[in-house]
Amino acid sequence: MGNVSSVTNLGRSGVADWLMQRVSAYVLALYTVVLLVFIIANPGLGYDAWAGLFGQTWMRIFTLMALFSIGAHAWVGLWTVTTDYMKSALPRFLVQAACGLTMFVYVVWGIQILWGF
């Protein structure tokens, strides 16, 4: 069986992309469940409750994991879609570059909001 190579991971196998997509999906699903349980457990949710939740170190780290997971998940998905459906190299590169830059900005912005840098 041949080795599947992928541009998304700079020379690593396509299995690494597949694994990154699955792990990031589980992190995002768990993060969603935690937020839903918090919302349900706190009727009349206000600023103080949100600030209390996101003021805890474990939630900040978990949110950081979710930020990185959404960036990784989106990158693998967008790379796959653009590679499959955009056959011309220049437009594909431009779309991938724009998506990559946008995801990078969102992750950095999220870190700034989360940690107050």
H or E element, residue 21: helix 14-41
Cα gap 35→4, rounded to integer Å: 37
Tokens of 50: 């949100």
Binding residues for heme: 73
Residues making up the annotated binding site for a ubiquinone are 85
| 79: Cβ contacts below 8 Å, ≥ 6 apart | 7, 8, 96
Binding residues: 73, 85
